[in-house]
A and B are shown apart, each in its own frame.
Chain A
Amino acid sequence: MQILRNLMPLVVIVLASAGTNAGTLDTVKSKGAITCGVSQGLPGFSAPDGKGNWIGIDADFCRAVAAVVLGSPDKVKFRPLSTKEAFTALQFGEIHILSRNVTWTQTRDSALGVNFAGILYYDGQGFMVRRSLSVKSARELNGAAVCVNSGSTTELNLSDYFRTHKMKYSPVVFEKSDEVLAAYRAGRCDVFSTDQSGLYAQRLKLAKANEHMILPEIISKEPLGPAVRQGDDQWFNIVRWTLFALVGAEELGITKANIGSLSKNTGNPEIRRFVGTEGKAGINLGLDPKWAARAVTAVGNYGELFEKHLGKNSRLKISRGLNRLWNKGGLHYAPPIR
């Protein structure tokens, strides 16, 4: 692996110099399908069900883009990718969208030849403890033993957090998250720390999920979002505005259920522009006026997506927290369509 690491700068140069790649929209249209890079299985984000359908918010985002561009949410080919090959696959053009719970960081955005189209899920590192410890906040964790994955930013964030707050802790480190969970289950540590979305999934794996709770603190920023290849602004805009359309729809109260009637009879100018009875937002994107309406018809608005795959209608039961709309105390904010 050391050799590979030494080769990385070279790879980066090759990637960056690969430069402009126009015409993804035309490619997608001529192929009749979008190829979407997803994870190899992450509950709530993208995981195959018994019939081989990819289920999750990341997968549904690709379906929304397919509905926008090709008119049908089924015109997606999912390609599971490991972390290591994800960006190369995107740069090489094997996939058109990377929707794989990747964190948007400055290095990735600038050096890897990709552009992040926005943030689909605001994640961050959190803590899980046993209820019996009766801890209410991470600030009470002084002296705790913390189970954590090795070699990840998770470990570094943890050390930063405890140092900043002048607390002591002893790390219990493992390679795989199943091992970390096993150690936590066996009581080798008091606290399990990883990204919050992961904690909710890990909690479900425990025999008595209710005996464990996730503390409110988030100690790192892990904005997850879809990425596209650098150098194709039109495609970038389409993916970015699909995301904005999903968020905007929630703000306007447009849902999968009511979009049919709203498309026909509404006086609200914002909704009229959204569903395409007024204005030409879609045409400027290289699409037709009904583009945003199709996204919502296919998968619902952002709130519906969240609750279905991650929130109260899923088994994960993640609270929306930072992922609420901006006017409800969260961070999701879509620029207006006009």
Chain B
Amino acid sequence: MQWTRQNLFSSWGNTLTTLLILAGLLWALVPLLDWLIVSADWRGSKRVDCSSGGACWVYVAERFDQFLYGFYPEEERWRVDLMAVVLLGSLSLFLWSRVSGRTATACVFLSLIIGWFTLTGGESSLPPIETRLWGGMMLTIVLTVGGLALAFPVAILLALGRRSTIPVVKIFCTAFIELWRGVPLITVLFMASVMLPLFLPDGASVDKLLRALIGVSLFAGAYLAEVIRGGLQAIPRGQYEAAAALGLGYWRTMYYVILPQALRHVIPGLLNTVIALFKDTTLVLIIGMFDFLGIIQASLNDQEWLGLAAEGYVFAGIIYWAICFSLSRMSKGIELRSNTHRV
């Protein structure tokens, strides 16, 4: 009470503003909540079950599995579940202060390699699943995480290379970064999907998903490189000199002294790129792959469920927001963890 009186109703003007804003919120929120929740259809399995005029969540419920797994065969979906758990587990190592960042990174990379083979079924006794059947949230995550995992080592090398004193290395890295940063992702994907096959010898073909992944990772690599370079520039000369005084060479200096500090500085920037990439992966729609948003759009064209675009997009929006927000909380956690040694 005290707080509201002091902050919201302290004067005539403030009271009026508060009331106006409240009225505006009610005016906008009531119909929205009514559509979203109150008069929405929650139960049933058919289009006819959606008759109330509110949102038709029956459609989302019916299609939920497809939104998650795409066309991945139903009896093999346990693989996706298993890999999701493994990935989440290895990512959460970053939040656990008893495991060093290097161990956690190694675990993530290891789980990604295992994941790729488990999901494709290559080199194992599991039945192979073609990547054209991958879709939905699973594909979005594969593209984001896979793209980043490929991009990260490249980015570190590029960032170091751009600060190198050797002109050839420096020019190459600068040119590489500027090239990939200068073209839109959609162009990169389009090139990977449409142009690249033209330059390959007849009969040779590279998996379409792999082509897209490489495109995404080169693109993300260029952005990450610049973020990491920002961190490198924040390291004072004294650190290099101290490392040199200890007798460390270039690579050891970087690995043990400079990079751990530099990366810690740029966690917010890295996360920015991660979230941007997570959302940018929807562009694979242009090359005929159904990521989370793509599969929702495709399902909207099922005759049975025509005209539910609003439900589909609202659902996509909620899920994207939830994931991006969790990512941002996670980065906050990593920041806290990695700064515990500081006062």
Contacts and interface: CB of A to CB of B under 8 A. Distances in A.
B197 A48 contact: no
B62 A50 contact: yes
B285 A47 contact: no
Contacts of A47: 298-299, 301-303
Contacts of B300: 41
Interface in B281-315: 285-290, 294-295, 297-304, 306-307, 309
A196 B187 CA distance: 32
Interface residues of A, number: 40
B298 A315 contact: no
Given A40-B294, A47-B303, A314-B303, A52 B71 contact: yes
Interface in B42-66: 62-63, 66
B197 A88 contact: yes
Contact of A205 (B285, B295, B309): B309
Contact of B306 (A43, A52, A85): A43
Contact of B66 (A52, A81, A206): A52
B288 A79 contact: yes
Interface residues of B, number: 37
Interface in A307-323: 314-316
A113 to B, nearest CB: 11
Interface in A291-326: 314-316
Interface of B: 62-63, 66, 70-71, 130, 132-133, 187, 190, 193-195, 197-198, 202, 205, 208, 285-290, 294-295, 297-304, 306-307, 309
A11 interface: yes
A14 interface: yes
Contacts of A172: none
B198 A41 contact: no
A55 interface: yes
Given A11-B198, A40-B294, A85 B287 contact: yes
Contact of B194 (A42, A84, A178, A316): A84
Interface in A5-26: 7, 11, 14-15, 18
B197 A92 contact: yes
A80 interface: yes
B134 to A, nearest CB: 11
A145 interface: no
17 contacts: A11-B198, A18-B202, A41-B297, A41-B302, A47-B302, A47-B303, A48-B66, A52-B66, A52-B71, A80-B288, A84-B194, A85-B193, A85-B194, A92-B197, A93-B202, A201-B306, A315-B303
A140 interface: no
Contacts of B208: 94
Contact of B190 (A44, A84, A315): A84
Nearest to B294: A40
Contacts of A50: 62-63, 66, 299, 302
